[in-house]
A and B are shown apart, each in its own frame.
Chain A
Amino acid sequence: MAELTTTRGRRGVRFVRALAPIPWLLPALVLIGGVVLWPVVEMVRTSFLRIGTSGYVRGSAGWTRYTELFSEPAFPHVLLRTLEWVVLVVAATVVISLLLAQLLNRGFPGRTVVRWALIVPWAASVVMSSIIFKWILDWSHGVFNTLLLDLHVISKPVDWLGTPSSAFWWMVGVAVFVSVPFTTYVCLAGLQTIPGDVYEAAEVDGSSRWNTYWRITLPLLRPALLVGSVINIINVFNSFPIIYTMYAGAGYDADTTTTFMYKLKDTDIGESAAAAVVNFVLVIIFVLFYLKATRWNEAVARK
């Protein structure tokens, strides 16, 4: 690039420079603008409309859909649940994935088969996985109770998904279960980018295994971990099939803002859209907070 400045005028250079990214980025911008941002504008617009249960737009609602949303008795609890949900699922996912990636990075007989097995929950749709877990955990005809009865762990069937409090933990488990494969692969791929000579150097230094992991592997895994956890935060935050499928119960005690938004849609599309906007603001806050806490700029942005 340096040689360009000497041959052309500064202004021309600036202009050419400003335009240079266009051919590289334009297709992406068009796709994002057309498929994602346009419906977002529509969503925001909907949150200011008065819409009947028929779906018919009856007029403008101003900010009333937002005030209604914030005065929903269940709303504060839903916010707390959301925080709990995201933090628990993402933290458990990342920790388990790191361990699993270390394990699967080793050589052992049957490693390929185990890796294939790990692919299955990732390849299956989350809706399907939620349905099968609900089926397995069913109190009357689920095989999980059969298993525990056979092992004499329980003496009569337990209704695992019956109450919001117990269902919530199972749903956290399922969310971790379906998130781990992808995250593990991100970590595995991250491990592969670490040059072998780094370890050799550590070996020469006589660094302990834990020390090597803590001081070398983990920092070098940071970009992969960042991508993995940011994607997970967003996906877990926006995940609705698990809770929606597995807990059909009464009340909103197991709901996150995303499933709450979905339930509101049945009675008021406008309020549901307002909840979607709030949901989006929350996820942005979440991610920015996370990026700030992990000093994203140092890790990903090139200076």
Chain B
Amino acid sequence: MKRRLMTTLGVGLCAALALAGCGSGGSDSGSGSQTKTITFVAAEYSDATAPYWQNMVKQFEAKNPGYTVNLNVQNWNNIEDYVKNLVQNHQQPDVLNVDHWIDFAQDNLLYKASDVLSSQTMSDMLPNPKKIGTYQGTQYGIPFILSTRLMYYNKDWFTKAGLDPNKPPTTWAELSADAQKLKAAGCPEPYGMPLGSEEAQAETMQWMLGAGGGFVDAQGKWALNSSQNVAAVSQMASLVSAGLTEPNPGSVDRTAGTWADFEAGRVGMMLGHMTPMEDIATKKLAVNYGLAPMAGKDGPVTSTLGVGDFIMAFNNGNGANKDAVSKWLNFVFQQQNYAQFLTNEKFLPVTQSALTAMTSNPADANLKPFLNVLPNAVFYPQTDPAWPTVEDAIKHQIGTAVQGSSPAGVLGALQQTAQKAEQNGG
């Protein structure tokens, strides 16, 4: 009986293999000669993303006859799995736009930035963003867009609670006191704290920065359970237990949760980048809000959280795609092309020329508060090979630290995860 089952399985497999034999091997083994066709996998930021890239590809192909860019725009929720699948099957794209690069660089899949960007584009790039694409002195990740975080606060709720709408809290103590007053005035979510798996790491890191901590120490070593960080997470937990946040922050997503609730006028204070501001403007929502640096332990934070997404070039077929990739990237970073993307999506630039252009563009005037804090922004430790693993662990676990588990315990477990990932080389 068992043997028969095995025979049947065997027959099935043989049939499968025979089926496979019919197909022609489609792997790109040819090296040496230059290819003029490249694949670009891009993350979809908004409805405007796909049309923008389609237009760019059309223009690029018109200007560079013979070159072809196969565009593939992927939803943020799925791009990670999609790209991993491509890499595992040795079908990595030629150019990719996602939020991490270190693991690709570690597996020797990427060109150095200087190999594919013109010296003009290279020198145009701002020094701060350049750093987050650099591993052991060599830049692989090309920062593409940046964002910074500020505290949004609802002025109407502040007025209703008897607070000065032009004096947002600057310290944790003030923030708690203000939140208490907002709660007393009937504000359903005095402080919005999205610690769900969507972006828990951002909220967490901004609080840690407020205590003088961070994911890594000054030497760049993982320091997730430092005393400053424990203090920060404990402070977050105390807001939760006082009922000043959503009831269960660990399951609150950022976009569909806190931000949406702020736009609906339910949230007193929260962290956010440019999108809620843009949403309120385009949807003409009646939310009267102010922007301020996030409150810190003893005063307003001087270092805001900065987040960068990257574009990167894969070395496929021993440099066979270098010429085409280089042409495409330099085209993308041309000032008017690049600035158009930023204006569409409301992001902050990584190049000096785009920064200059945006500063003088009235359409981008509202980005100013976010641009102002960019020079002092502190980014995720995106140059650390363990970061992708650590980021995921924070997303899935930090929420438990404000819902009953001990902050020190959760942070300790995260620190262990980080150190283990470090040993395994990412």
- Whether A and B touch directly in their complex, counting CB atoms under 8 A apart, is answered as yes
Tell me the A residues contacting B by CB distance below 8 Å. 29-30, 32-34, 37-38, 41, 46, 51-58, 139-141, 157, 159, 161-163, 167, 247-252, 263, 265-267, 269
Which of B106, B196, B396, B425: most chain A CB closer than 10 A?
B396
Tell which of B128-136, B291-299, B398-406 binds the partner.
B398-406
Question: How distant is the Cα of A302 from the Cα of B7 in the complex, in angstroms?
Answer: 22
Question: How distant is the Cα of A37 from the Cα of B17 in the complex, in angstroms?
Answer: 10
The answer to whether A54 and B84 touch (CB under 8 A), given A38-B16, A251-B250, is: yes
The answer to whether A167 and B16 touch (CB under 8 A), given A139-B246, A250-B196, A250-B197, is: no
Contact partner, B109, options A46, A56, A265, Cβ 8 Å: A56
Q: Shortest CB–CB separation between residue A274 and chain B, in angstroms? A: 15
Q: Say whether A265 contacts B16, CB under 8 Å.
A: no
Contact partner, B107, options A52, A139, A250, A251, Cβ 8 Å: A52
Tell me the B residues contacting A by CB distance below 8 Å. 8-9, 11-17, 19-20, 80-81, 83-88, 103-104, 106-107, 109, 188-189, 195-198, 200, 246-248, 250-251, 253, 260-261, 264, 266, 388-389, 392-393, 396-400, 403, 425-426
Q: Say whether B13 contacts A248, CB under 8 Å.
A: no
Contact residues in A for B251 (Cβ distance below 8 Å): 159, 161-163, 167, 247-250
Contact residues in B for A139 (Cβ distance below 8 Å): 246-247
The answer to whether A29 and B247 touch (CB under 8 A), given A53-B389, A266-B392, is: no
Q: Shortest CB–CB separation between residue B310 and chain A, in angstroms? A: 13
**Chain B, interface SS category:** helix
Question: How distant is the Cα of A178 from the Cα of B335 in the complex, in angstroms?
Answer: 52
Known A162-B251, A249-B196, A267-B393; 8 more pairs at CB < 8 Å: A29-B11, A38-B20, A54-B107, A54-B109, A55-B86, A141-B260, A167-B251, A250-B200
Q: Say whether A267 contacts B88, CB under 8 Å.
A: no
Contact residues in A for B20 (Cβ distance below 8 Å): 34, 38
Q: Say whether A54 contacts B106, CB under 8 Å.
A: yes
Count CB-based A-B contacts (< 8 Å): 128
Q: Shortest CB–CB separation between residue B418 and chain A, in angstroms? A: 12
Contact partner, B246, options A34, A56, A159, A248, Cβ 8 Å: A159
Q: Shortest CB–CB separation between residue A190 and chain B, in angstroms? A: 29
Question: How distant is the Cα of A34 from the Cα of B398 in the complex, in angstroms?
Answer: 43
Question: How distant is the Cα of A38 from the Cα of B196 in the complex, in angstroms?
Answer: 37
The answer to whether A33 and B426 touch (CB under 8 A), given A248-B253, A250-B403, is: no
Q: Shortest CB–CB separation between residue B55 and chain A, in angstroms? A: 30
Task: Give A246's nearest chain B residue, CB to CB.
Answer: B251
Question: How distant is the Cα of A159 from the Cα of B110 in the complex, in angstroms?
Answer: 45
Question: How distant is the Cα of A34 from the Cα of B15 in the complex, in angstroms?
Answer: 7
Q: Say whether A162 contacts B389, CB under 8 Å.
A: no
Q: Say whether B88 contacts A55, CB under 8 Å.
A: yes
Q: Say whether A162 contacts B247, CB under 8 Å.
A: yes
Q: Shortest CB–CB separation between residue B258 and chain A, in angstroms? A: 10
Contact residues in A for B426 (Cβ distance below 8 Å): 52-53
Q: Say whether A54 contacts B80, CB under 8 Å.
A: no
Q: Say whether A140 contacts B87, CB under 8 Å.
A: no
Contact residues in A for B264 (Cβ distance below 8 Å): 140-141
Question: How distant is the Cα of A162 from the Cα of B392 in the complex, in angstroms?
Answer: 20
Task: Give B386's nearest chain A residue, CB to CB.
Answer: A53
Question: How distant is the Cα of A245 from the Cα of B392 in the complex, in angstroms?
Answer: 17
Contact residues in A for B248 (Cβ distance below 8 Å): 159, 162-163, 249
Contact residues in A for B17 (Cβ distance below 8 Å): 38
Q: Say whether B396 contacts A263, CB under 8 Å.
A: yes
Q: Shortest CB–CB separation between residue A87 and chain B, in angstroms? A: 25
Which of B19, B88, B261: most chain A CB closer than 10 A?
B88
Q: Shortest CB–CB separation between residue B17 and chain A, in angstroms? A: 8
Contact residues in B for A37 (Cβ distance below 8 Å): 9, 12-13, 16
Contact residues in B for A55 (Cβ distance below 8 Å): 83-88
Q: Say whether A250 contacts B400, CB under 8 Å.
A: yes
Q: Say whether A57 contacts B400, CB under 8 Å.
A: no
Contact partner, B15, options A33, A41, A51, A162, Cβ 8 Å: A33
